[in-house]
Amino acid sequence: MNLEKICVLGLGYIGLPTASTFASHAVKVIGVDVNPHVVQSLQNGILHIYEPGLRTIVQAAVQSGNLVIKPQPEAADAFIIAVPTPFKDSKKADLAYVEAATESIVPFLRPGNLVILESTSPPLTTINVVAPILEKSGLKAGVDFKLAYSPERVLPGQILRELIENARVIGGINQESAEAGRDLYRIFVRGDIILTDATTAEMVKLMENTTRDVNIALANEFSRLADRFGVDVWEAIQIANLHPRINILSPGPGVGGHCISVDPWFLVEAAPDITPLILSARQVNDEQPTFVVDLLKRVLGKPLAESSIAILGLAYKPNVDDMRESPAVEITQHLIKAGAQVKAHDPFLPGKEIQGIQTTNTIEEAIQNVDVLVLLVAHQQLKDLTAEKIKAANANVIVLDTVNAWTIESFNDTGIKLYKLGVGK
């Protein structure tokens, strides 16, 4: 099929890299976002998100004229929907963005077009939600236009590379739709392209992230058990993983991001009667920030309202600026609400006020004159922080490491007490 012009709806962590990658392969791309600030910034070559290498490729795509940023879609050969799918307070999928983006395509849909949903969605969303909206155009899905689901499967911090190199799953509402999706992504994808049906493709993405979530929940429960039994969970995991058929993941302060912490709820919502394990894992990981706060209370030995605390790391994972569903932010806000005096530093978000959290420009500024330092994210810059540097900034501070970045031995000669998540010794 003719694929000379593509319209990408949603210019966030997935849509913008996707649009710019197509544009860098000599395809005309209309990048659409409903946020006026995002549109204006990108038109001026200014990015609203951080991803290594993204600024260069976006600026080149805009300057070449292959990527044009607009607030609304226009006629194209293919439409890619890459908008957020958050969950509501009830832990049910909020498909409002998907529905609105799909509605905006309807006036421009023409026979022969291809529409692909990339947004992570509950099973049957493509067939039961997207298709009926598009058919308001008077065209029939799978007959007059092609419709498919192709989930993003990339890691923040590695998005540009993994978009190209990772295997791509394309689920069509019929075989012709799946093949059209393959033709589209083959423009830049070097990895395998696997064709299936739309609902299977939706399940694949949810299964991948749910598997991670369940395994992390197990690791987090191990950290709680180690704390109770006087064991070093990190040592125990290292020994257990010597077994050729065991691969226990690392515990931490919780699970964040827009995928692992969200996607399992879509399966629980779709079939609550047959997903007790998935639900339990979600509950364990959602409760982990509370466990960290309780651990911190024990470390302090006094009420939070009488304590001053330095937080290192606010992103949901190392070496990115993404704070979506971040357990570090949840923990910090809990401490503030409890009356603690809190300063926070994230090397990817220096000096910015974030959701009511006071941040500092430097690590040293955060550490000075506090009772306790809590490491919540294993950014490389934070892992490189030595016990000597911490002592130079605050010789009386207590340290709590929740990500196993530092060793107790490295603190022994400093006089600073280091506590660790999952170490009950």
Q: What is the pLDDT of residues 26-82, one digit of tens each?
A: 999 999 999 999 999 999 889 988 888 999 999 999 999 999 999 999 999 999 999
* Residue 247 scores a pLDDT above 90: yes
Q: Which of 205, 317, 343, 420 is catalytic?
A: 205
Please report the pLDDT score of residue 174 as a whole number.
98
**Average pLDDT of span 174-198:** 97
**Average pLDDT of span 346-352:** 83
Unique residue bearing structure tokens 């009667």 = 273
b/e code 49-85 from CB counts within 10 Å (16+ = b): bbbeebeebbbebbeeebbbbeeebeebbbbbbbbbb
Least confident of 81-95, 298-312, 388-402: 81-95
* Residue 226 scores a pLDDT above 80: yes
Q: Is 310 helix (H, G, I), strand (E, B) or coil?
A: strand
According to CATH, where is 3.40.50.720 located in the chain?
5-191, 198-425
Give the architecture (CATH level 2) of 198-425.
Answer: 3-Layer(aba) Sandwich (3.40)
* Residue 355 scores a pLDDT above 80: no
Cα separation, 34 vs 12, in Å, equals 11
205 is catalytic: yes
Cα separation, 50 vs 154, in Å, equals 15
Give the architecture (CATH level 2) of 5-191.
Answer: 3-Layer(aba) Sandwich (3.40)
Residue range 263-320, pLDDT digits in tens: 999 999 999 999 999 999 999 999 999 999 999 999 999 999 999 999 999 999 999 8
Q: Which of 7, 146, 259, 343 is catalytic?
A: 259
Please report the pLDDT score of residue 80 as a whole number.
98
* Residue 377 scores a pLDDT above 90: yes
259 is catalytic: yes
